[in-house]
Amino acid sequence: MKHPRDPDAVDIGAHLSDPGSSLHKLFARAGQLGAIQAALAQWAGEPLASSLNIANERDGTLVIYAASAAALTQVRFQQQELIHFLRQRLGLNITKIETKISPPASGG
C-alpha cells in the first residue's frame, strides 16, 4: 500500500540540488574533505597515508589526525611541502596545518 505524501513534504532531491539548503552544503563539505583526504593520501604515500585523516579545514587551517606520534612528526616536518601540494592540486588557500594524535576509539 502506498502512503499518501504529506503536502508539506519536499523531495530529498530538491534539497540536494538547492545550493542554499543545509543538506546541499553538508554534501558539498563532505566532498571537499574527501578530495583533501585523497590528495593527502597521494602526497603521503603508504604506509604514512593510512595513518592520516583529515579532521577539518577552516579559515586557512587544515587539521590532520595522525594515528601515531611518528606519523604526526613526519607531517609536521614536511608541512610546508604539503601546503604547497594542496594549493597546487586543489587550489586550497591553506596557510597552516594543525596536527593531532587521533582520539582513541570509544569502546562499548
pLDDT value of residue 16: 59
pLDDT value of residue 7: 54
CA–CA distance, 105 with 13 (Å, rounded to integer): 34
pLDDT value of residue 55: 94
What region, left, alpha or beta, does residue 68 occupy, with left being phi > 0 and alpha being psi -120 to 50 degrees?
beta
CA–CA distance, 44 with 38 (Å, rounded to integer): 10
To which residue does cell 601515531 refer? 68
52-58, strands of its sheet edge to edge: 52-58, 61-66, 96-101
Per-residue pLDDT of the chain (108 residues; tens, 9 = 90+): 555 566 555 665 655 566 677 887 888 889 999 999 999 999 999 999 999 999 999 999 999 999 999 999 999 999 999 999 999 999 999 999 999 998 877 765
